[in-house]
Structure 1
């Protein structure tokens, strides 16, 4: 049981700690909205990681083999999603900045907690890095399918908790950043930097050879 717990924690932190496009978007979203929205989005990311961990322990190596043909299409879907989010975030920030002197009612409504959760859940599920990570985890640990139900449950829960704790930390950092950059120019700069990073990551993903 202890081994399953440690393996789950390592798996969860292993996929969560490297801050890529998903982490960048999470920080930017928290900075532009609220801690509640950021935490909801963070739990969306962790839910996707937990689902992949569950699929890994239930599907075994057959799952990894089935995922290989889908990695190419998933990568291009993820590229398009990241590029769209980057453009949408930048356009929204510029529109809000230009309309800062207009009535508050014309400002775009920030995403709610549920929408933030579903958005980040979808992005993370489409992220080929997550797919490859858990596929490699399955292939590298063939004993997972022989583990008991209790050990599998501990592994999946630990992976989810580890991912959630890191993503919530990122969301909290984004919320603190948003409080520090309370001015219109500061929020515009934050959104544009995040959009630029996401665009660069999307381009790198698109140019990476299969």
Structure 2
């Protein structure tokens, strides 16, 4: 049981800690909205990681093999979504800066916490590499069929908890960033940097 707990925590942090496009968008979203919205978005990311961990423990190599033919179209879809978010964020930030207005006055209302959760859940689910990652860990540790259901549950919950704790930390950083950069120039810089990072990471997905 302890081994399953430790393995789940290590696996969850292993997939969550490298800050990619989703993490960048999470920080930017929280900075532009609120900690509550960012926290719900963070739980959306963690839910996707937990679902993929569950699929990996239950299906093992069969799930990973079924997803491999879909990796290319899913990678393209993820890149397109990220590029659209990057362009939208940069365009809105430049328009607001030229109008010399604060983002809190000029921007459209931020997404609701529920919508943020669903959006980040869907965006994270577009990445099939996550389930392949979990499947490799499960299969590397031994045959998935030999693992008891209780141990599988502990592994999945530990992976979810690890991912959630890291994503919530990113959301907290975004909230602090939002408080520090309250002027229109600071928010312009934040939005442009976030959009640039997301664009680079989206392009790298396609290479």
TM-score, normalising length: structure 1:
0.92
Q: Determine the structure 1 residue equivalent to 2:200.
A: 200
1:29 equivalent to 2:38? Answer no
1:4-38 CA deviation, whole Å, 9 max, x = no partner? 10010011000000001011111111111111111
Q: For the residues of structure 2 that align with 1:153 and 1:139, how far apart are their CA atoms?
A: 16
Give the SS at the match of 1:182.
coil
Q: Within 5 Å, which residues of 2 pair with 1:171-190?
A: 171-190=171-190
Q: Within 5 Å, which residues of 2 pair with 1:128-167?
A: 128-167=128-167
1:96, 1:108 within 8 Å by CA — same for their partners in 2? no
What is the deviation of 1:147? 1.3
Q: For the residues of structure 1 that align with 2:151 and 2:130, how far apart are their CA atoms?
A: 22
Q: For the residues of structure 1 that align with 2:98 and 2:189, how far apart are their CA atoms?
A: 13
2:67, 2:128 within 8 Å by CA — same for their partners in 1? no
Unaligned runs of 5+ in 2: none
Q: Determine the structure 2 residue equivalent to 1:93.
A: 93
RMSD: 1.7
Unaligned runs of 5+ in 1: none
1:47-100 CA deviation, whole Å, 9 max, x = no partner? 000000010111121111111111111111111111111111112222333445
Q: Determine the structure 2 residue equivalent to 1:3.
A: 3
Q: Which moved more, 1:54-63 or 1:135-144?
A: 135-144
Q: For the residues of structure 1 that align with 2:117 and 2:196, how far apart are their CA atoms?
A: 23
Give the SS at the match of 1:42.
helix
Give the SS at the match of 2:54.
helix
Structure 1 residue runs of 4+, over 6 Å off?
Answer: none
Give the SS at the match of 2:60.
helix
